[in-house]
Every structure is written in structure tokens, then in C-alpha cells.
């Protein structure tokens, strides 16, 4: 058994306690005051130099701040505005908020790594920067603000992991190149002329135009995007009208556009605008498109992927080359700036409890994954330092 895994297993009960405490007290984006404070206090007790309030509610903890070379490890901290439906003793105590994406586990694992790495302070010949990041769930995300504040300055490489109950515990899901899609938000407002539902000829019905826009937008992926590329355009909300017999004057569509290609991402707003305006004009109406660019494509560097793979193998785990996903992740901002790698840590045990995917009201993990994740973060640093 590797030393990192052995030391992580010695902390297992504490890792579970930390994760469950955070799970009971979820804090959504930009509100992670308690969570960030717990991480800061913990790291200070372990002898780290700590910066509180990074990107408003984040925490940066540094081991060996006098060293010039820097490696960073990141955990996101925010919960989701979703009501938890798990029947567990550590269920969320806040209605309408829950750790239903595993960020409580990420924070607990990075805290565990902080304690173990502190033992090796004198043997690690570089600076280790632990980033407890806020607001991953709201684009463009807390990572962008941390970078703008200069917290990535001087960092040579960065690593992050995300628990995934759809992968078995003890397995690392990873791939080089594009792993997660860009994540943009679009809002289309169709302006027509309202009137009585019994006299549609006296109106310019924006609901009809909006319905045709929804249908036509699907042609972007089937007819505009290279068939060998991947993209998604989904309209997820429609808001129009307030009475059964009144044709409204406006209709609003809200959705998301995603791609694994930077070029396709740049073209998507142009195509959405062209289709929306064209259909609205054909109906004697106008369409306004508000397009919010969120997070970029997450692209793993081959060399960093190899390092994470070797580290996980050293623990006795196995890796699986997974397909890219159209989900988004603001870790992509870091990888646009410096080399690094983001991987999915298996956290499923085949039970009903771990059968739900991210953002489901009953999302949960196999807590044995906490040991694997803590050990992996430690092993990445020990490998770089040449410590056996």
C-alpha cells in the first residue's frame, strides 16, 4: 500500500466527519463564508500561510511560501439551490440548498491532503498552493475572479478532481484534450403585437414565432456544426403570456449553448442570432438575443494527465479513458492559463444511494472515495517532489 493511501486511510473517519458537517450546512455560490472559514482555520492549524476572502469567499492556503516553483491543488466549495431528498442523518439543514454535486467531498479531501502534506513540508522543494474556490456553479465562476486577482501568478501546474458516483470507487475517469464543454447562456426575446386569442389576425403572435425558433435552433447541431464536432443548443425555459385567451406581446426563451471546439463556440452566437432574427422577421416581429459567455472548453494537457494517471496507479487504483462530456466546469479557466489536469474520481458502490448523477435531489457518494481523493492529491505532490 502506498504511503499516501495509508495516511489517508488513517484519516478516514475525520474525512467523513468533515464532509458530513459541510453537507449539513450547504452554502451556495458567493455565500461560502462558513465553508471557507472552516478550510482556512484547518489549514492555519497545520501551519499554512492562509489568505481569506480570495474571490470574495474563497480561501488560499500555501505550504512553503518561500519557495519559487508552485503547484496548485483546487477544490470547489459551493452547494446548489436544490432541495435535498436524501434520507440520511447528515441531510442538508437548509431548505432549498444542498451539496448535490459533491463539492463538500472536494473540500474535505483537500483539507485531508493539507494535513498529510504538512508532514512533508521540509521534504517538498516547492510551494504547494491549495485553492478552496467559491462559485463553481454560476458562470463564469469563481475561478475567473481568482485568476484576475492574481492567485494563479507563478503557478506552474494545477490539478483538480470531481467525485462521480457513476464511476466505481477506486477508478479514475480521465482523458487528454477536451474533457468538458464550454458553457454559455442565451436569452431570446421575441417582440410581437398582442391581442385577443379569438382574433389572431390582428396580432403578431410571438408565441408562434418563439415555437418555430425553438425548432429551428435544433438545425444548428444537425446542419451547421461539423458532424465530427460536438455541440448542444437547448432551450430550457419559455415565458410568455398570463391568460388563456390573450396573445402576449412578448415571448422569452432561455437556454444553453455548449461545444467542445473553441471555433464552434465562437460561431454559435452568430447562428442563434441569424435564426432567431430571421424567423421573427418572417412573422413581422423582432428578436433580441442576449448571449452570455460562461466558461470555456476544459482541455487537459497530456503531460499533466500522465502525472495524474501515474499517481492513481501508485495508489493501486485503475484509470478509465472516458468520453468528453457536454457538462461545463470553471476549472477550464485555470487550464486556459497554465498546464494542468482535471479528472473524475469514482464514488459509486452499486447501491441505490449512489445511483444518481450530478444535481439530482438524491445525489450522494460512496464515502470511501474520500480516502482515494485525498491520497491522489497527496501522491501528485509526493511524485513531483520525488518522495517515496
Pick from 295, 317, 339: which residue ends a domain?
295
Tell me: the pLDDT tens digits for 18-61?
999 999 999 999 999 999 999 999 999 999 999 999 999 999 99
Q: Are residues 244 and 331 in the same domain?
A: no
Pick from 257, 279, 295: which residue ends a domain?
295
Q: Are residues 199 and 288 in the same domain?
A: yes
User: Considering its fold, how many domains does the chain have in total?
Assistant: 2
Q: Are residues 37 and 165 in the same domain?
A: yes
Task: Write out the residue range of the structural domain in which residue 40 sits.
Answer: 3-180+297-385
Q: In angstroms, rounded to a whole number, what is the distance separating the alpha carbons of residues 174 and 305?
A: 7
Q: Are residues 322 and 278 in the same domain?
A: no
Q: Are residues 220 and 147 in the same domain?
A: no
Tell me: the pLDDT tens digits for 300-330?
999 999 999 999 999 999 999 999 999 999 9
Would the pTM count as exceeding 0.85?
A: yes
CB of 342 within 8 A of CB of 143?
no
Length of the chain measured in residues: 388
Pick from 295, 311, 326: which residue ends a domain?
295
Q: Are residues 212 and 270 in the same domain?
A: yes
Non-local (6+) Cβ contacts of 143 within 8 A are 74, 133, 136, 330, 331, 332, 333, 334
User: CA 84 → CA 87, 97, 174, 369, distances in Å?
Assistant: 9, 7, 29, 21
* 3-state class (DSSP) for residue 178: strand
Per-residue pLDDT of the chain (388 residues; tens, 9 = 90+): 899 999 999 999 999 999 999 999 999 999 999 999 999 999 999 999 999 999 999 999 999 999 999 999 999 999 999 999 999 999 999 999 999 999 999 999 999 999 999 999 999 999 999 999 999 999 899 999 999 999 999 999 999 999 999 999 999 999 999 999 999 999 999 999 999 999 999 999 999 999 999 999 999 999 999 999 999 999 999 999 999 999 999 999 999 999 999 999 999 999 999 999 999 999 999 999 999 999 999 999 999 999 999 999 999 999 999 999 999 999 999 999 999 999 999 999 999 999 999 999 999 999 999 999 999 999 999 999 999 8
Q: Are residues 19 and 126 in the same domain?
A: yes
Q: Are residues 34 and 53 in the same domain?
A: yes
CATH of the domain at 261: 3.30.70.360
* 3-state class (DSSP) for residue 251: strand
Q: What is the DSSP string of 295-309?
A: E--EEE-HHHHHHHH
Amino acid at each position: 500500500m502506498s504511503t499516501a493511501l495509508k495516511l489517508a486511510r488513517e484519516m478516514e473517519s475525520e474525512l467523513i466527519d468533515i464532509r458530513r458537517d459541510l453537507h449539513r450546512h450547504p452554502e451556495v455560490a458567493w455565500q461560502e463564508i462558513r465553508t471557507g472559514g472552516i478550510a482556512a482555520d484547518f489549514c492555519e492549524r497545520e501551519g499554512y500561510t492562509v489568505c481569506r476572502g480570495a474571490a470574495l469567499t474563497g480561501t488560499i492556503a500555501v505550504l512553503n511560501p518561500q519557495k519559487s516553483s508552485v503547484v496548485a491543488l483546487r477544490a470547489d466549495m459551493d452547494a446548489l439551490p436544490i432541495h435535498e431528498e436524501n434520507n440520511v442523518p447528515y441531510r442538508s439543514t437548509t431548505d432549498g440548498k444542498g451539496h448535490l454535486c459533491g463539492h463538500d467531498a472536494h473540500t474535505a479531501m483537500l483539507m485531508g491532503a493539507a494535513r498529510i502534506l504538512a508532514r512533508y513540508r521540509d521534504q517538498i522543494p516547492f510551494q504547494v498552493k491549495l485553492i478552496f474556490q467559491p462559485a463553481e456553479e454560476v458562470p463564469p465562476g469563481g475561478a475567473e475572479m481568482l485568476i484576475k486577482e492574481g492567485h494563479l501568478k507563478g503557478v506552474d501546474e494545477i490539478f483538480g478532481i470531481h467525485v462521480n458516483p457513476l464511476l466505481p470507487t477506486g477508478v479514475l475517469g480521465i482523458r487528454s484534450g477536451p474533457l468538458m464543454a464550454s458553457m454559455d447562456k442565451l436569452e431570446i426575446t421575441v417582440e410581437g403585437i398582442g391581442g385577443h386569442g379569438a382574433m389572431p389576425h390582428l396580432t403578431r403572435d410571438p408565441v408562434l414565432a418563439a415555437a418555430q425558433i425553438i425548432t429551428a435552433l435544433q438545425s444548428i447541431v444537425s446542419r451547421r456544426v461539423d458532424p465530427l464536432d460536438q455541440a448542444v443548443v437547448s432551450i430550457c425555459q419559455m415565458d410568455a403570456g398570463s391568460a388563456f385567451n390573450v396573445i402576449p406581446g412578448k415571448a422569452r426563451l432561455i437556454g444553453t449553448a455548449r461545444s467542445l471546439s473553441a471555433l464552434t463556440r465562437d460561431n454559435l452566437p452568430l447562428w442563434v442570432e441569424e435564426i432567431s432574427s430571421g424567423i421573427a422577421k418572417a412573422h413581422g416581429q423582432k428578436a433580441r438575443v442576449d448571449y452570455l459567455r460562461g466558461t470555456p472548453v476544459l482541455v487537459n494537457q497530456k503531460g499533466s494527465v500522465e502525472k495524474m494517471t501515474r499517481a492513481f496507479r501508485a495508489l493501486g487504483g485503475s484509470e478509465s479513458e472516458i468520453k468528453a462530456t457536454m457538462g461545463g466546469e470553471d476549472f477550464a479557466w485555470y487550464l486556459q492559463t497554465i498546464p494542468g489536469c482535471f479528472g473524475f474520481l469514482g464514488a459509486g458502490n452499486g447501491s441505490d444511494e449512489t445511483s444518481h448523477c450530478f444535481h439530482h435531489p438524491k445525489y450522494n457518494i460512496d464515502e470511501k472515495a474520500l480516502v482515494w481523493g485525498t491520497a491522489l492529491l497527496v501522491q501528485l505532490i509526493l511524485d513531483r517532489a520525488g518522495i517515496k
